[in-house]
Amino acid sequence: MNLRTIIYVLIAGIISFLLISFEDIKQVKEPQEVYRVYLKGKSIGLIKNKESLENYIDQKQNHIKKKYNVDKVYAPDDLDITKEVTYNEKITSIKDIYKKIEHISPFTINGYTITIKGITKSNNEGQTTKTKDVNIYVLDKNVFKDAVTKTVQSFITKEKYDDYEQNTQKEIKDTGSIIENLYIKNKISIKENKVPVDKEIYQTSEDVSKILLFGTTEEQQKYTVKSGDTIEDVAFNNKISTEEFLIANTDFKDKNSLLFEGEQVTIGILHPQFDLIEEDHIVKDEEVNYETEVKYDPSKSRNYSAVEQAGVKGKKRVTQKIQKVNGETTNVVTVSTEELSSPIKEIVVKGGRDQSSLPENVPGYGQVIATRGQWGWPASCATVSSGFGYRWGSLHDGMDISGCGYGSNIFAAQSGTVVAAGPGIFNGSGYAVLIDHHNGYFTMYAHMCKGCIRVSTGANVTKGQVIGGMGKTGNATGVHLHFSLWTGYPYRSGRALNPAGLY
């Protein structure tokens, strides 16, 4: 090979190398549009077509379509697909991208997220608590709206609800009641969005109603009725209130409805997910109890007892504003009181000398039987806003008397010795008085107004003596007296009894 040939070969080689290098450079620098896929903020690959991945997800999730009866399934919420320009970077197959997604994040479907905002609540001692936000997922927002209506009608009869909504409530002439205002205190938002399929997505208003009432869709406890059972007995023995029983068992009209041996009823403790506020205007006639005066005749035997003058109850017409939260009375304000007839005192003559006797505890759930008139009513009004019994799974160990007004007189129900008086006697009691009646029985008067207590520890008091004023200290939502009766010292060795049995 001569020199010229060698030079030609070298030149040809150089030219070929340059051409190949130019092509490589051309390929590297030639831009291409692709889509980068991010899952939870981390890149998992590049794809050529965004719609191809979306369609692949939709095709592979037919079981979700069937389960929720929807037409399309979408990518997870935390999947982002962004367009970018790159050079000769490896493209990932749609199938591989799908495999990376399906085991990490849930796919989504069109639906609605309902958020029920929690409420900040405070007592009169400055302590605050806030209920948690609640999220409910549905495919149709009307399912939620229907469930809210059903839940509201659990606390208010359908007839009363319809009359309020349609503005057809009957005007009060002599006595009666109307709903003046009805609203849900919580803020509720309804947002249309993509709902992850790993959430509990509700498709029926019945399921949502269970959530709103009980906080769960799980089957509630059942009870098989026994011979002789009453609604009040079944409710108390299963640690729920009569009202809760009626809400959970809508077939029964009221607490006097008959139960039949062998039938099953629902025993569910309510855990409402919102606060339904009902404000009522009510006019009612109340009986006024008469006092009983006992005279003792030493010439008669101790077993002798005769009514010298029959007692007659009086009557008064009371107008009140009542607030309820989820069917439970929380505040009563008496607007006016009109006496319709005065009570007539009963006079009883007994044999022997003057002596005090006290009631005896009898079998049952906290019932006490006492001689009529032996125990005095502890307040200047007669409205019992909440009785003795279970509510929301806890025992309400006394009766709440409301409507007398802030600072109104509270009376000792029977003679005895004050063993505690002041704030914080018991948790949540606020300003309170505890009286020992020297027979194993104690009475407590809670939520008095600050500065209203008129007796001190160690003082002897007589039946009917003013011991304080009504207030709303401690865990109280409104002005009322919490009056409780105990055999034994309260919250130690004592047992709460139903004070209604005294009257």
Average pLDDT, the chain: 88
pLDDT, greater one: 117 or 30: 117
DSSP 328-392: EEEEEEEEEEEEEE--B-EEEEEESS------EE-SSSS-EE--TTSS--SBSS-EEEE-SEEET
Query: Band of the pLDDT at 123, cuts 50, 70, 90?
Result: low
Average pLDDT rounded to a whole number, residues 235-251:
89
**Encoded tokens for 296:** 């003792």
Query: Band of the pLDDT at 370, cuts 50, 70, 90?
Result: very low
Helices (H) and strands (E) in the chain, counts: 9, 32
Query: Band of the pLDDT at 120, cuts 50, 70, 90?
Result: confident
pLDDT value of position 13: 59
Upper half-sphere CA count for residue 245 (Cβ side, 13 Å)? 26
pLDDT value of position 2: 62
Query: Band of the pLDDT at 251, cuts 50, 70, 90?
Result: confident
Average pLDDT rounded to a whole number, residues 233-241:
91
**Encoded tokens for 196:** 């992850």
| Tens-place pLDDT, residues 280-336 | 999 999 888 788 888 999 888 888 999 999 999 999 999 999 999 998 898 999 999
Query: Band of the pLDDT at 116, cuts 50, 70, 90?
Result: very high
| pLDDT-above-90 percentage for the chain | 67
| Tens-place pLDDT, residues 138-161 | 999 999 999 999 999 989 988 999
Question: Beta strands 134-138 and 201-202: pairing type?
Answer: parallel
pLDDT value of position 367: 38
Query: Band of the pLDDT at 490, cuts 50, 70, 90?
Result: very high
